[in-house]
Amino acid sequence: MLISDLSTSGAMPAAEMLLKFAGQRQKIIAHNIANIDTPGFQVKNADPKAFQEMLGDAIDRRREKNGGAFGALEWKETAEIHRVGGQGSMDFELRPSTSSGGILHHDRNDRDLERMMQEMVENATAYRVAADLLRSQRNQLQNAIAQRVI
């Protein structure tokens, strides 16, 4: 069994992608909050639902291809999630889009403080879930390697 097989089994690849996504999205949300009073600013967002669909798609494809929950995830780029590095790289960067249809304030800023705060809380929770998942999977691996039985 190769080392890479250890790190691509079970939920670890998906949890890593979620961790990266939530980490980059936090920067976008912080940028929106910092620009609460900037005239003419338009709130940017990277849609978590689109990310969820993309991830679910990649997991299903992996299951079909390998017959189980192991192997690298092959994910497809979306309008907001761009691959960084060569073909098959797991690294990505977010290119947020501006949502339209919000309430425009008198300074032409379409801020919505409550929505921003909600997004930040949900994003932080998603990050925590991914981090906890990764830690527990790593602990299981460590126990297996150390031949410990809990």
Residues lying near other proteins in the complex (CB under 8 A) = 19, 22-24, 26-39, 41, 44, 93, 95-96, 113, 116-117, 120-121, 124, 127-128, 131-132, 134-135, 138
Instruction: Spell out where the chain has E strands.
Output: 44-45, 81-83, 92-94, 97-98
Closer Cβ to other proteins, 26 or 78, answer by number:
26
Closer Cβ to other proteins, 69 or 120, answer by number:
120
Closer Cβ to other proteins, 57 or 122, answer by number:
122
Nearest-approach distance from CB 66 to other proteins, in angstroms = 26
> Taking Cα atoms as reference points, which of 141, 1, 19 lies closest to residue 90?
19
Beta bridge partners of 94: 81
Nearest-approach distance from CB 69 to other proteins, in angstroms = 21
Q: Tell me if residue 39 falls in helix, strand or coil.
A: coil
Residue 73 CA to residue 13 CA, distance in Å, equals: 7
The contacts of residue 51 (CB under 8 Å, 6+ apart) are: 21, 78, 80, 81
Nearest-approach distance from CB 26 to other proteins, in angstroms = 5
Residue 128 CA to residue 107 CA, distance in Å, equals: 36
Nearest-approach distance from CB 46 to other proteins, in angstroms = 11
Closer Cβ to other proteins, 67 or 85, answer by number:
85
